[in-house]
Structure 1
Amino acid sequence: MSKQWAALVLVLIQLHCGDFCPDLCQCFSAEKVVCSDESLKALPFNISSQVRELIVVTSGISFLSGSSFRENLNLTKLVVLNSLVKTISHDAFERLQELEELEISGTYYWLSFDVQTFSSLAKLTRLLLNNNKISALEAGVFHSLHELEMLQLRGNMLSYLPRHLFHRLHNLQELDLSFNHISSISVDVFQNNSLLRSLSLQANSISQLPAGIFSHLDHLEELNLRSNCLSNLSAETFPSGVRKLILKKNALAQLPSNVFHKLHHLTYLDLSQNQLSEVPSDLFQNLISLKKIDLSENRITALPGSVFNGLFSLKAIHLQKNKLSSLEANLLKDQHDLEQLYLSTNSLQSVPQDFFNDLDFQSVVQLHGNPWRCDCGLQYLSEWLKYNGRNVEDLTRVYCDAPEVIRGEHLVTVDKEQLVCRNTSSSGFQGSSVPNVTEILVDGVDDGAIRCSLRDVKGVTSLHCKCTKCTSEKFHVLFEFADKQKSVFSNCSVPEYSSNGTSFH
């Protein structure tokens, strides 16, 4: 629809509704009125009895009482946002007994109300009191709200929750207490909220969870404990039905191996931004439904090879920003359907042979921010990147950190011939260190039957190989000069001797 047609339709609607639309308000239907003007000092009094929704945004209203609404109103929804309301009287909503949804959020001053303020709202199912600087609540303030399904108290200044605050809210399904100053919670505060499905305690100051605090929440699916001060958890902390568990940004340094064992329905687990340095090998045992696990921004130095065993539903593993220096070869053994593997910003120098072979070709991998050592130990990764580089995020940021001669080069641009091990070796490969001797890995020889080294003596470079088993290997030597010209010398072979130390020079 063009802007001209939209404007015409708006005018026609407003003309149609003009006989009941209050001043400083807009009426887009017979049932919905929206008022937004800082000069509005009181709720409009001449509202039609047909109106069901009244929304007031950015007004100068500072007080709500029983006289704020005329009789015979049939509002089912009232929203007051960004107002100057300081006080709500005990009888403010007595004439709104049909109200099902009430929101008063974003007040500029400290909002206060009476313990009886909501007592007449027997049909209320949704109550939102966010960002109002509420500092305390009386125990009985919600006792009449037997039909309440959602309660939001987000972004206030609550430091304490009375034990019986929610005890009459038997139908409560969603409770948001995030961004307050709560430091402790009584063990029975949620005792009568067995239908609760979503509970957020994010961004408080909780340091300890009483044993059994969530034990009655049999229907709880999402529990958000992000940004608190939790330093320990017990095996009985979480209800078995939880599906999404957020423990991000706490003070967890270690976890009991059985803390999650009952969570068979868990699909999302966030342990990022904690202080974990190790992970028990059976920590995630029994999490058969787990799809995403986030362990990023911890202090993990190594992971047991079996830590993800049996987690066949995993789609994402986030391990970025840890201190991983090595990876077990079987870490991804069961991860055939993995879609995200984030290993960036660790201390990895190489990956085990065939490490990524179990991944699907659709998997997205992060490898940047590691000090990759571009020698013979990285030949597998280099080869894997040739065929799977499109699956690596920020591939151009995957650099060689060593050896020094190729430091800073993109791994994908390094030739395979450059990925050699240059370890100082000794004469005959035993004994003390000898200068100007470089050991060379012989590709295709897995049992050490042939070991070779380069020796540079007075400007003359010689190739020394030692054979410990019968062999008929032939040697092809490739010379590449500074001008990129290449020369191949292949007129040499090893005699078929059988000894314990036949040397070829």
Structure 2
Amino acid sequence: MSKHWAAVLLVLIQLHRCDCCPELCQCFSAAKVICSDESMKALPVNISEQVTELIVVSSGITLLNSSSFRENLRLTKLVVLNSLVKKISHDAFERLLELQELEITGNYHWLSFDVRTFSSLANLTRLLLNNNKISSLEAGIFDSLHKLETLQLRGNGLTALPGVLFQHLHKLQELDLSFNHISSVSADVFQNNSLLRTLSLQANSISQLPAGIFSHLDRLEELILRSNPISNLSAETFPSGLQKLILKKNALTQLPPTIFHKLHQITYLDLSQNQLSEVPSDLFQNLISLKKLDLSENRITALPGTVFNGLFSIKAIHLQKNKLSSLEANLLKDQHDMEQLYLSTNSLQSIPHGFFDNLDFQCVIQLHGNPWRCDCGLQYFIEWLSYNDRNVEDLTRVYCEAPEVIRGHRLVSVDKEQLVCMKNSSSEFQGSSVQNVTEIPVDGEDDGTIRCSLREVKGTASIQCKVTKCTSVKFQALFELADGNEQESFISEWPAPAGCSNGTFI
């Protein structure tokens, strides 16, 4: 037997001894013990001094106090998950002087603490108290945790935060207060947490942010305010070092034009699921590092042509599920490296000439869910599609809404010859009252079913036909050249519109 396997066998023999691995527990190494049993009513007392990590899952323990841990333990990590703990006494951790990480998460009962519960944990750097039904926390409960870097209080029943709750946590870098019932926060609640890098207030009931609440958090990189009823923001709300700002699913109806102007380092800005109807033309000015902008699921009806000017680093712009009815031709003039452009589920009928010309050939575009008007105004778009159809996601779901004759047709099935501009004015079919309009006689029996006219507009000739009965139409264009020779250009046939039966409309 090799020395290596002999050493492994020796370790296994040692771990098997009852004084090393407690009952109802598993010892995967000399330093790590995992206990999991609903019949366990107290923590095991015969834990080896070599153990530094103790993890207890789904136990029946209801109380943690001074007798829960024997002397001489050298635990650096203690985790209690999905148990029945109701109370943690003031002296529960007084013997765990070397503890660096403490997690008590997912307990089924309302969990209460004493204000002195964590007072002996001077070396603690991580404290996770998630999903415990904690209704309140006393001021001073965290005052002894001078080395704490991460504090998570996610998914509890907190309704308020004492203004001095975090005042002694000078080294705090991550604070998670999400999924509580906090309705207000004081302007100075984070006053002494200048090293914060990540702060989450997601899914609370905060309707207003006090002026200057984040202004001194110069190292804050990620701020999550998602799912709050915030209806307005002041111009100086956010610190300049932010890299990620999430304002999704709030109640914002408008934004101050300069609110983001200092955010030169921001890479991700999420404003989706608000009630914005317009966007100031200079709202995103100076956001030179921005890579993703999400404006989806708002009420935006139009965008200024210069609103994205200077966003040279942008990779994704999400505008789906708004009320955009038109786009400015120069809207994307600075976006040469785009990877995603989502315009689906808006009110767009056409695309302006040259709109996509600056986009990279690898950009993925969403366009479905718009009422496209498939006439001469869509010729640029159809021509662009002929070379870039792979760029459009779900292209088979892009349909014509008008004109009626090709309503419901997939855009990819429409020929360029069908993109004819027509108006409803009956005079265009009479040829007598509109300039540059010539009535075209119909060969064969003229029963008034098909009336066509030729119209010249800005050097473009268009044939406009009015069909009074439910029938298909075959069109043949024959050109006469200057030398008198005739040349056939194309033949096209329009099928009878949907809803026809036996020559009549249903």
Band of TM-score, shorter chain: 0.7 to 0.9
The 1-side partners of 2:158 and 2:351 are apart by 49
What's the CA shift string for 1:74-126, capped at 9, x where partnerless?
A: 00000000000000000000110100000001010000010000000000000
Corresponding residue of 2:498 = none
Q: In 2 relative to 1, CA 226–437 (structure 1 residues): closer, same or farther, beyond 3 Å?
A: farther
Tell me: CA distance 1:452–1:134, structure 2 relative to 1, closer, same or farther (3 Å).
Answer: farther
Inter-partner Cα distance in structure 2 for 1:322 and 1:405: 28
Q: Is the 8 A contact 2:178 2:201 kept in 1?
A: yes
The 1:271/1:488 distance shift into structure 2, 3 A limit, reads closer
Specify which of 479, 485, 493 is matched with residue 490 of structure 1. 479
Specify the alignment match of 2:214 in structure 1. Answer: 214
Matched, 1:84 2:73: no
Asked if residue 152 in structure 1 is aligned to residue 152 in structure 2, the reply is yes
Q: 1:436 to 1:310 in 2, by over 3 A?
A: same
In 2: Cα distance, 1:494 partner to 1:434 partner: 31
The answer for the alignment partner of 1:408 in structure 2 is 408
Deviations 1:177-221 (A, max 9, x none): 000011111110100000000000000011111111111111000
Q: Provide Cα deviations, 1:472-496, integer angstroms capped at 9, x if missing partner.
A: x9999xxxxx99998553336599x
Aligned to 1:231: 231
What residue is the counterpart of 1:500 in the other structure? none
Q: Residue 405 of structure 1: CA displacement?
A: 1.2
Aligned to 2:142: 142
* Partner residue in 2 for 1:104: 104
Match of 1:246 in 2: 246
Q: Report if the CA contact (8 A) 1:13-1:28 is conserved.
A: no
1:38–1:421 CA distance, 2 compared to 1 (3 A): same
Aligned equivalents of 2:323, 2:474: Cα separation in 1: 42
Between the aligned partners of 2:439 and 2:99, the Cα distance in structure 1 is: 86
C-alpha contact (below 8 Å) 1:34/1:55 kept by paired residues: yes
Q: Which residue in 2 is equivalent to 1:430?
A: none
Whether the aligned pair in 2 keeps the contact of 1:53 and 1:78 (CA below 8 Å) is yes
2:139 pairs with 1:133: no
Match of 1:17 in 2: 15
Given that residues 53 and 76 in structure 2 are in contact (C-alpha distance below 8 angstroms), is that contact kept between their aligned partners in structure 1? yes
Separation in 2, partners of 1:316, 1:281: 19
Residues 171-320 of structure 1: pairs in structure 2 closer than 5 A: 171-320=171-320
Write the deviation string for residues 448-484 of structure 1: whole angstroms up to 9, x where unpaired: 9x77775777547565456999xxx9999xxxxx999
* 1:158-193 CA distance string (max 9 Å, x none): 111001100000000000000001111111010000
**1:404 alignment partner AA:** E
User: How well do the aligned residues superpose, as a CA RMSD in angstroms?
Assistant: 2.8
Separation of aligned partners in 2, 1:141 and 1:455: 92
Are residue 54 (structure 1) and residue 54 (structure 2) matched? yes
**Contact in 2 for aligned 1:248/1:271 (Cα 8 Å):** yes
Name the residue aligned to 2:353: 353
**Structure 2: distance between partners of 1:219 and 1:306:** 31
SS of the residue aligned with 2:28? strand
Where in structure 2 are there 5+ consecutive unaligned residues? Answer: 1-7, 464-470, 485-506
CA gap 1:386/1:312 in 2 versus in 1, 3 angstroms:
same
Q: Which amino acid aligns with 1:89?
A: S
Seen in structure 2, the aligned counterparts of structure 1 residues 452 and 354 have a Cα distance that, compared at 3 Å, is farther
> Aligned partners of 2:174, 2:458: CA distance in 1, in Å?
72
Change in Cα spacing, 1:144 to 1:257, as seen in structure 2 (3 Å) is same
Q: What number of residue pairs does the alignment pair up?
A: 465
How far residue 44 of structure 1 moved from its aligned partner, in angstroms, is 1.0
TM-score, normalisation: structure 1: 0.87
* TM-aligned CA distance change 1:465 to 1:86, over 3 Å: closer
SS at match of 1:29: coil
1:275 and 1:462, CA in 2 relative to 1: closer, same or farther beyond 3 A?
closer
Which amino acid in the other structure matches residue 302 of structure 1?
A
For structure 1, the 5+ residue unaligned runs are 1-9, 427-432, 441-447, 477-481, 496-505
In 1, are the aligned partners of 2:454 and 2:461 still within 8 Å (CA)? Answer: no
Distance 1:339 1:64 in 2: 53
Q: 1:384 Cα deviation (Å)?
A: 1.1
8 A Cα contact 1:75 1:98, kept in partner: yes
Is this contact kept in 1: 2:454–2:462, CA < 8 A? no
Normalization by structure 2: what TM-score?
0.87
Report the alpha carbon displacement of residue 43 of structure 1 after superposing the two structures with TM.
Answer: 0.7
Any conservation in 2 of the 1:195–1:217 contact (CA below 8 Å)? yes
Rounded to whole Å, the distance in 2 between the matches of 1:453 and 1:11 is 101
Structure 1 counterpart SS, 2:21: coil
Separation in 2 of the partners of 1:314 and 1:42?
55
